[in-house]
Chain A
Amino acid sequence: MTETRDLVKGNEAVAMGAIDAGCLYYFGYPITPQSDIPEYLSYHLPKVGGEFVQAESEVAAINMLMGAASTGIRAMTSSSSPGISLMQEGISYIAGSEIPTVIVNMSRSGPGLGGIAPSQGDYFQAVKGGGHGDYHLLVLAPNSVQELYDLTILAFELAEKYRNPVMILGDAMIGQMKEPLLREPPGEIHEYPKEWALTGAKGRPQRVLKSLYLKDGELTAHNWKLHQKYETMKESEIRFEELMTEDADLILVAFGSAARISRTSVMMAREAGMRVGLFRPITLFPFPEPQLTAMAKAGKRFFVVELNTGQMLEDVKISAQGNQVDFFGKPPGALPTPEEIFEEIKKIYPES
C-alpha cells in the first residue's frame, strides 16, 4: 500500500480540508497572507456544487456566512488580522444566535496595518472574545500543513456539534509553508440534528435565529445556556500534544509556529543533557488548563514561548497556580531562532 503525500501549502491544506469536510460555501475578501484559500476555493467549490462569493468587505463576508450557515449548510470564511477585526460584530451575533460556522485567521502582525510577518498577536482576540458579549469561540491552533487539513475537517464537525463558531488560528508562517500532506477525506460526514436550520416553515412551526432577548430573564438564561456549552467544551474538547514532558524539569509551552521553533530548541536542550519538554496546546479555547495544573502540581516549571509580548502567558500562569512561569516572546519582525530559545533555556534551567 502506498500513501501519496503531496507537497502542499498550508493555506491550500485548509481549503482542501474544507472541501473534504463538505463545506459548500465560502465568503471572503482578499488579504495577505491567506489569499490562497479563496483562490483555491473559487476554483474548486463550483466543481462540488458549492459556491464561492467574493464579498465587498469582511463585514459583508461574515454576515453572508451567517446567512448561509443559518440554513444548515456547511460554510466558512477566512481572513487575516485586520479583516478578522472587522468581522467581530458578526462573530458575536453568530455566537449569540448559535450558528455553526468556521472562521480561519491566518494572522499577520499588528496593531493597525502592522505587517504581513507571522505573529501570534491575535491570541487574546481569538481566545478571550474579540467581539462584544460573554461568548467564546472554539479555537484550534494547528502547527503543520497536515494539521491544518485535519483540524479544518474537525472544525466543521465541532461547529455543528456545539452550534458554535470555530476559529482556526494560524499565522503567516503556517499558512505559507509547504509540507507533505496526506489527504484522507473523512469518508462519511457525521450529520448532527439540525432542528434549528432555516429551511422554510413547511409543515412545522416557524424557526427563528436571533440574539435579541428582551423579555424578563430571557437573556440571563440564554447566557447561562451558552456558558454551559463552554463548560462542556472544557470537559470534552481539550486537545494538546506533549513531547518528552514526563521526566522534564522544565516544560516549554508554545502553540502554532512558536511550537515548531520551540521543538528544535527542546531537542538541543536534550542533547545537552537537560530534561526539557514541550507542551503544545492544540485547542486554545478550551485551554488545557487541567493538564498544565497537574504538571505544575507535580513540580514542573513552565517556559512560555510566543510570537508576541505575552498573551497565552496569562493562561499558563493561571494554570500554573503560583508556580514560576518564565517567558520568551518576540513581537512581529524577525522570528526567534531555536538557538535563541535554547540560550534562554540555559539561563533558566533549574540547577539541582
Chain B
Amino acid sequence: MSEKKIFSRPKTLKDAPFHFCPGCHHGIAHRMVAEAIDKYSLREKTIGVASVGCSVFLYDYFDVDVIEAPHGRAAAVATGVKRARKDKIVFSYQGDGDLASIGIAETVHTANRGENITIIFINNTVYGMTGGQLAPTTLLGQKTTTSPYGRDFMQDGYPIRMTEILATLEGTAFAARVAFTTPKNINMAKKAIEKAFQFQKEEMGFTFVEILSACPTNWGLNSIDSMKRVEEEMIPYFPLGIFKERKAADVL
C-alpha cells in the first residue's frame, strides 16, 4: 500500500494543539504564516512579535524567537527589532482591536516609514479575547456585547478598512486582503502571505496582509455559518484583493 503524505505540520509550527475555539480562523492563519516562513527557509532568522488578543500565545505555536508586545504596540516593537537586526525577518500578528483601534497610530506610522516588516492582521470584527466587544471593524448593524442595538454609524462611525488606508502610503510595498472561505480564496491567501514574506526578504518595504477571520464564539454562530458570514457579510464590505504591490524596492 502506498500512502502519500499530503498534510504535514510546517517546521515552523510546534507540535502543540491550538487553544483556539472550534471554527476559529486563527489556527488556519497560524499554519499559513508558518508555511510561508518554511517556504523561504526563514525559521532560524525570524523574530515574531505577539500582540494582545486571542493570538497572544503565538510563541506556544511558532518555533521562532518571539517578543510579546503591549496591546496595540506590536508594530512599534517590530520596528525596533528590525532596525536593530536588519538581517532578520520580523513579523507581527495582530487582531483588529489591537491594530486598528488602540494601535492605529503605530500601524500607520510603521507603514509610512516603510519599515521592512510584515504584519498579519486578523480582522474578525470583534474583540475576541475580551468577550466580543465592538471593534473598529464591526459591521454596521452588528450586535456585539458593547453594541447591543447593533453598530450605528451615528454613534460608532463606519467599519474601518485598514488595507485600503495603508495601501495609500508610499512606505507600503504590499497590502492585500484575503479570506479562507473558498479553495480559490484560500489559495489567494496563501499566495499573499508568501508574497509578503518574499517582499520582506527582498527588502521591498512594509508588507501587510489582512485576513477576514471567523470568531464563531463571539458571533454566536457555528463554524459553517461563520464561514458563510465571512463570505456573505464581510467580503461585500471588505473586498478581497491586492491593493498595493510595489514593482521594485523604493525608488522615490
Contact = CB atoms under 8 A, between A and B. Distances in A.
Contacts of A60: 73, 76, 79, 105-106, 109
A24 interface: yes
B68 A64 contact: no
A156 to B, nearest CB: 15
Given A51-B83, A75-B80, A90-B73, A203 B67 contact: no
Given A198-B81, A210-B59, A63 B46 contact: no
Given A199-B65, A209-B68, A65 B73 contact: no
Interface in A41-63: 51, 53, 55-57, 59-61, 63
Contacts of B105: 56-57, 59-60
Contacts, number: 130
Contact of A67 (B43, B49, B50, B56): B49
B77 A201 contact: no
B76 A202 contact: no
A92 to B, nearest CB: 8
A208 B44 contact: no
Contacts of A207: 65-66
A210 B65 contact: no
Interface residues of B, number: 33
B69 to A, nearest CB: 6
B122 interface: no
A63 B81 contact: no
Contact of B80 (A25, A56, A208): A25
B64 A206 contact: yes
Interface string B81-118: 11111001000000000000000011001000000000
Given A63-B73, A90-B73, A200-B44, A212 B63 contact: no
Interface string A73-116: 10100000000000001100100010000000000000000000
A199 B80 contact: no
B141 interface: no
A64 B76 contact: yes
A331 to B, nearest CB: 33
Contacts of B59: 206, 208, 210
B73 A208 contact: no
Contacts of B88: 71, 199-200
A97 B79 contact: no
Given A97-B67, A201-B44, A201-B64, A24 B80 contact: no
A173 interface: no
A53 B79 contact: yes
Contact of A200 (B49, B65, B67): B65
A224 B70 CA distance: 22
Nearest to B90: A67
A211 B66 CA distance: 12
A284 interface: no
A65 B68 contact: no
Interface in A164-201: 198-201
A89 B73 CA distance: 11
Given A69-B84, A93-B69, A201-B63, 18 more contacts: A55-B76, A59-B73, A63-B77, A64-B79, A65-B80, A66-B69, A66-B77, A67-B77, A67-B81, A67-B83, A90-B73, A200-B45, A200-B46, A200-B85, A201-B43, A201-B44, A206-B64, A206-B65
15 contacts: A56-B105, A63-B69, A66-B77, A66-B80, A67-B49, A71-B81, A71-B88, A93-B69, A200-B44, A200-B46, A202-B44, A203-B44, A207-B65, A208-B65, A212-B68
Closest A-B pairs by Cβ, 3 of them: A67-B80, A63-B76, A68-B80
